[in-house]
Amino acid sequence: MADYEFCRVEKDEHLWVVTIARPERMNSLHPPANEELHKVFNDFAADDDAWVAIITGEGERAFCAGNDLRYQAEGHKITVPSSGFAGLTSRHDLLKPVIAAVNGVAMGGGFEIALACDVLIASESARFALPEPRVGLAALAGGLQRLPRQIPLKQAMGMILTGRHVPAEEGKALGFVNEVVPAAELLARARHWATEMMACSPMSLRASKQVAYQNLNEADLARASDNSRYDAVGAMMKSEDMIEGPKAFAEKRRPQWKGR
């Protein structure tokens, strides 16, 4: 595993835990940090033994405070890799599950990272906002697209057009947070969700994720239900896991997934 300056990567069998490590800047991201995370998730996507990832932030104050405005104000040019903020917000072809473990403030781009994940676990102290209009900007790393798709439109617009801060429990009530837990239990709970995912065939998870997201692009239910349109479904149907699952069920044992 490569050494990184602005993040840490822990590999535990099929699980990767990625920690944004700029606590002195509330884990906000500047171009070098974004580039590191781009490389991390490139490696995660390419590694056949990597099935699920968790992304979190160092410390208890912040998951990610978004773009490093101090860095920008110091005269540096802001650039983002092709995969988007934190290497995730524009990575639309990643079929492996990613869990956000939001340990504090998730503002602007930080909230957009969390929205780009498949499951969001929040500590009780977590706060969410898209405050870009308050500094003359807009949430253009996916926040304006994802939030209205994940919660009711009027509720999304209320957040978008005011930049207001939403606490974790309200985020759960709105529907973009899966679970709220005490800060001390956050990573353990995220790992529990990852363990539950890894009890499933990774081929099935990738097929399920591709269908769930791509079918949203189709207004016609019959076309959306045409499973031949989804490459990951075809790969699942041809996989060793497709044989192993029913066999393990019949033999009353845990399946030994291959991920191929």
Total residue length of the chain: 260
- Single out the catalytic residue among 58, 74, 132, 185: 132
Rounded Cα distance, 102 and 123, in Å: 6
13 included as an active-site residue: no
- Single out the catalytic residue among 13, 58, 112, 218: 112
240 included as an active-site residue: no
- How many angstroms separate the first and last alpha carbons of the chain? 23
Contacts of 56 (CB under 8 A, 6+ apart): 17, 18, 19, 20, 63, 100, 101, 102, 103, 186, 187, 190
Phi, psi of 16 (to 5 degrees): -110, 130
* SS3 state at 258: coil
Phi, psi of 182 (to 5 degrees): -60, 150
Catalytic amino acids? 112, 132
